[in-house]
Every structure is written in structure tokens, then in C-alpha cells.
Chain A
Amino acid sequence: MVAAGLYYGFLAIWATSSPPHVVQNIASLAPFWIVYGLLLVNTAVCLWNRLPVLRRDLSSSRRWGSLGTYLFHVAFFFLAVGFVLTLLGRQEASVWATVGEPFESRPDQFRSASAPRMMAPGVPALSFEVERITPEFWRDELLFTTLEADLRFPSGSTATTRINRPLWVSPATFLRMSGFGYTPRYELLDRDGLILDSAFVKLNVFPPGQRDYFTLPDFPHRFYLEVMPDVAIEEGVPVNRSLNLAIPAVALHVHRGRLDLGRAVLVGAQAYEFEGLRLRFPEIRYWGEFSIVRDPGAPVVFLGYIVGLVGLLLKLTGRRPEAEWSAGRGEHHG
């Protein structure tokens, strides 16, 4: 226990200068595993040795404190099993889905996915459609007070997920909203106004001021965008008033290779002309990033937490004799 305390103390100090993933890697090194192993072996031996004492306490004098101590230490093994199951079987994937877009677990719809593990070939297949995404900001600051998504499933049922309220798909799998952004829909037109191409593009253009770009497969151009969700023109200059998608505008900058083809701020159906083409963004929707997490160890860990807390409460409130150990002969006196 002292070694564990020292290890974690050093880990906390290390965290002041190392990124989180490095800290997690350090915590998975051999010295920590050795300490965990020794603690578990020691606990198992002690639990085995104290079993007769527990039986006596419960049957004769109903000392629930003894049971409490026992349960608390048994909980360590639930935690150990849970963490091992997590190591072997945790899967996480993130997907982007725009409002109105059905998600069908197609490979191209995944933004990222963790590598398959021993006990998990991949995240379970899910299908849903995003009906609505509702963000709310506090005083137009970059501070979400609400961020939730209404989802519809193939069965017809609907549910709402928030960033801190996941939807449980199964005992070990849940779906949660983990990100948010703007999805402009572009329309590329020719000189005659014929629409050549149109689609939603999921870009990292949130918060306002963030810049991203997209390209089209049949055209050599690169289109840089910033989204102003609530634009107003003040003294001839477009300014963004709030984070709410009220009067959206797109600040566009077009390049072809190293050639700068100009820039413009487009509001509503306004289009920008370049090299015989016109580009406009008639619609902007929200996209949501959703995480699908499958963690078979989590329910076991939570069960361990419950068992441990129940044990502590029993110990605190129950009667229990003080234990004393005599050195040398291995006897104990209850």
C-alpha cells in the first residue's frame, strides 16, 4: 500500500509536465502491475485466513462489521476483474452524423475506431438517425449549458442523448454525444445556374473563427471556410453576434493550387463566382459527434464499487472487535 501510494504520488507529479496519454502509459508499466498483483495476493490470503473468524462473528454474535470488512476487500477482486475485462474488451468508435442523416454503421461513416482487442472484434453495429441537435450557450460565451441530440431508431423509437447522459444500448454498450459542429451544404453551379454538385460537408468550423477546408473530387480547387452562425454587418464589416445558428454566413476563400482566387462572406443564398463556376451555401445544419463505447468491464467495476461501499457502511455502523496480531506464532485474537 505504501508503494502504491508513492507510485501514484510520483504519477501525479509527472502529470504536471506530461500529456494525459503519457501519464496513462506510465500507469500501465510493470511496477504498477507488480504492486497490484502483490496487493491482490495479500488480500486473498488474508480473506482466506479470516473466513473462520467471519463465520464465527456472523453466527454467534452477528457482528456485521466483520462482514463489512470482508465485503470491502472482496470488492477489490471485482475491480481487478473489471479492469482486466476493460483492457481486453473495450472498444470505442466515434462517428459524425448531421441532422437528418441516417447512421448505418457503414465503414465510411466512422470517424475513428479503436483497434480490435482479444475479446472484442469491434464496436457493435448500430443504426439511428439524428432528428435534432439542440445546443444552448450561456450568454453567448463558449460555454454549453445544453447539448443534446434526439435520435430515431429503425424500430421507430426515439431517445435523447446528451454529452453526460449516454444511451445504454446493452449492459456493456452505450452511445453518447461527444462533439458538435456546423455542417454547411454547398451547391456548385455552372454559368447557367445548373447545379453540378451539392452535398453536406462536415467540417471543424466550430467555434466561430475555426477554419477548415474541403475539396471536390472533379475539381482542382480547395475551399477554405469559416462559419459565422449569427452574422451582422457593422460599419460594412461582418461580425458574429452569437453562437446560435440564427443568420448564418460563410467566410469563403478559394484556392487552386497556389493561386488565390479570392474570398467573400456569403449570407443565405449568395454565391461566389470563380473561373466560370459559382459556389453557395444555402443551408447550414448542426452535426453531432457520437461515441459508441463497448466496455464489458465497466458493469463489473460498478458492482465492485457497490459491494465496497456496502462493506464500508456495514463496517462503520456494525459492531466489530478490534483485531490484534501476535508476532511469531501467527495467532490472532479477536
Chain B
Amino acid sequence: MAEATDLSLSLARALVAMCVIASVLGFIAWFRREGPYLGRMANALGLVCLALSVVAWIVRWTAAGHLPLFGTYESALSLAVATLLGGLLVMRRSTGPAGLWPVVTATTAAIVAHGLSFDPTPYALTISERSWVVDIHAVAAWAAFGGLTVNAAVAMRRLIGASESQTSLDRLLTFTLSLGFVLHSAMLVTGSFYKFLLFGKVWSFDPIETLGLVAWISYGTLLHMQLFAGWRGRRLASWCLALFVLLVISYRGIVYFPAWSTYHIFDMDLRIHLTGSETLQ
């Protein structure tokens, strides 16, 4: 298991490096309109990043013996796979040279680098995480993050004055906004349902719930403005980017809350000092 953990860490570090290179090349391709060479290279590197992330994720799954959802490092790997998959799925759309890889790989690099700063020791899943409801909740969370990262990437592409069809970009912006909202809703719902199974309460304003709700309300408000106030183009794109920052905080900021304030910190080195009934939760 130690070897597998080391391999997972090495792959994760390589992923960060590769994503940084892909992102830099991609941004250069975005701003240098002439010559498709850089764009093709960024596309290829994006695919390499995706392959690397999937391998790292599978290695981690093998080492830990469970779906990689326990702890900040594991969740970073899972978010990386979901985000890069999102980049792949929109690759064929009219999103210009380098597709959306610059933003997608930059986000992936940041998420995985953040995850690497936490304890990567694989732990067995505690009983409270051993449930198919948790698995669905985690997958919905990853998919929502991936979808909204793609949304942010489209938004940035829209803001820098892309050469490709603005109508096409606007349509993709709206679709990813709606899709991300649906997946985020599914994440909140499954989390609430599992909270009831675990604690007998549907909602208790745990900071993770509150942060998720803030992001949900924010994206919901933006959808209403898009539908009813005619927010389009650059205006909508600006707000999508701003809310993406909020989303990242809601997903990754919980680990900076005190361990006693939230159940949703799964880094055992941050929780192991808790004793008594708290450990059973």
C-alpha cells in the first residue's frame, strides 16, 4: 500500500506540472490567434492530463480500497478527473484553439496542488461513509464541479473576445450553467438525505450545507437573471466567473473551518483528536 500511495503522489505531482504547462500553452494559444500549432499542442496536453488524472485516481482507489472520496487529497484527485472530463466532453464544440483546456487545466492544477498539501495517508472508510448514498452524493458533487468549471472556462473564453461564434459560446455558457445547477442540486439533495440517515436531521446548517446553499442560491439567481432580465454575453460570463470563485470556496474552503464546527472534514489527522461520541460521527 505504501508503494501505491507513493505512486499516486508521484502521479499527482506530475499531473500538476503537466496541467500548468498545458494551461500556459493554452492561454498563449488563446491570445495568439495565428497558427494552430500551439492550440493542437494544448489539446494534446489536455488529453495527457486527463489520462494522467485517471491513472492517479485508479491507483489511489486501489491503494485506499474505496472510491477516492475520503480526505482533501482524495477529493482533489476526483475533482481533477471530473474537471478534465468536462474539458474533453466540450472539446469538439466550437470553442476555438486549445478548446477550454487552459482554464480546465489551470483549475485542475490548483485543486490537486491544494490537495497535495494535506495528509495523503489512505484510511479505510469509516462506517458513516460506507453507503451507496454517499457514493452518489460524491459523484454528483464531482460532476457539478466539473460542469461549473467548464462553465467558467466558457465564460473566460467569452470575455477575452474569442474568434469563434459568440452565439455558440453563449449557448454553451447557458447550457453548462443549467447543467451545473442541476448537478449541484442533486448534490445538496443527496447530502441532505444522507444527513437524515446519519443524524436524523434533514438540515442543520453545518457550514458545508450553508456554503453549498449559498452557491446554489447564487447560481439560481444568475439563472433567473439570464432568463428574465436578459443577461447575456459578457455580462453573464463575468458573473459566471465570479460565482465560480464562490464555488471553489464552498468546495474546498470547508477544510479551514474548525473540526468541531462541521462533520464534512474527512482528513483524519485533523479529526483524530476528537474523542467520544464525536468519533462515532
A positions within 8 Å CB-CB of B: 1-2, 4-5, 8-9, 11-12, 15-16, 18-20, 23-24, 27, 82-83, 86, 92, 138-139, 141-147, 162-166, 174, 176, 178-180, 204, 206-207, 210, 291, 293, 295, 297-298, 301-302, 305, 308-309, 312-313, 315-316, 322-325
Interface residue count for B (Cβ, 8 Å)?
Answer: 52
CB-CB under 8 A for A163 and B123, given A20-B206, A308-B185, A324-B230: no
Least CB distance, B225 to chain A, in whole angstroms: 10
Could you say which of B40-48, B103-111, B175-183 contacts chain A?
B175-183
Identify B258's interface contact among A16, A24, A139, A210, CB under 8 A.
A16
User: 10 more A-B contacts (CB under 8 A) besides A144-B280, A178-B280?
Assistant: A1-B224, A5-B214, A15-B210, A16-B207, A142-B275, A162-B127, A166-B197, A295-B196, A309-B189, A312-B185
Give the contacts of B191-205 with A (CB-CB under 8 A). Answer: 192-194, 196-198, 200, 202-205
Q: A145: which B residues are within 8 A, CB to CB?
A: 124-127, 130
CB pair B124–A164 under 8 Å, yes or no, is: no
> Could you tell me the distance between the alpha carbons of A302 and B194 in the complex, rounded to whole angstroms?
11
Can you pick out 14 interface pairs between chain A and chain B where the beta carbons lie within 8 Å of each other?
A: A12-B211, A19-B261, A20-B205, A23-B205, A83-B202, A138-B126, A142-B279, A162-B127, A164-B198, A165-B131, A166-B200, A207-B276, A302-B196, A316-B179
> Could you tell me the distance between the alpha carbons of A146 and B131 in the complex, rounded to whole angstroms?
12
CB-CB under 8 A for A20 and B197, given A5-B214, A12-B210, A12-B214: no
Give the contacts of B92-114 with A (CB-CB under 8 A). Answer: none
CB pair A15–B261 under 8 Å, yes or no, is: yes
Identify B210's interface contact among A11, A178, A305, CB under 8 A.
A11
Least CB distance, A276 to chain B, in whole angstroms: 36
CB pair A92–B198 under 8 Å, yes or no, is: no
Q: A27: which B residues are within 8 A, CB to CB?
A: 205
B positions within 8 Å CB-CB of A: 123-128, 130-131, 178-179, 181-182, 185-186, 189, 192-194, 196-198, 200, 202-207, 210-211, 213-214, 217-218, 220-221, 224, 227-228, 230, 257-258, 260-262, 268, 272, 275-277, 279-280
CB pair B131–A164 under 8 Å, yes or no, is: yes
> Could you tell me the distance between the alpha carbons of A2 and B219 in the complex, rounded to whole angstroms?
11
> Could you tell me the distance between the alpha carbons of A316 and B175 in the complex, rounded to whole angstroms?
8
Least CB distance, A19 to chain B, in whole angstroms: 7
Least CB distance, B210 to chain A, in whole angstroms: 4
CB pair A20–B204 under 8 Å, yes or no, is: yes
CB pair A325–B261 under 8 Å, yes or no, is: no
CB pair B262–A15 under 8 Å, yes or no, is: yes
Q: A12: which B residues are within 8 A, CB to CB?
A: 207, 210-211, 214
CB-CB under 8 A for A298 and B198, given A308-B185, A308-B189, A316-B182: no
Q: A9: which B residues are within 8 A, CB to CB?
A: 214
CB pair B202–A298 under 8 Å, yes or no, is: yes
CB pair B257–A15 under 8 Å, yes or no, is: yes
CB pair B126–A144 under 8 Å, yes or no, is: yes
> Could you tell me the distance between the alpha carbons of A142 and B179 in the complex, rounded to whole angstroms?
40
Identify B217's interface contact among A8, A141, A207, A210, CB under 8 A.
A8
Q: A312: which B residues are within 8 A, CB to CB?
A: 181-182, 185
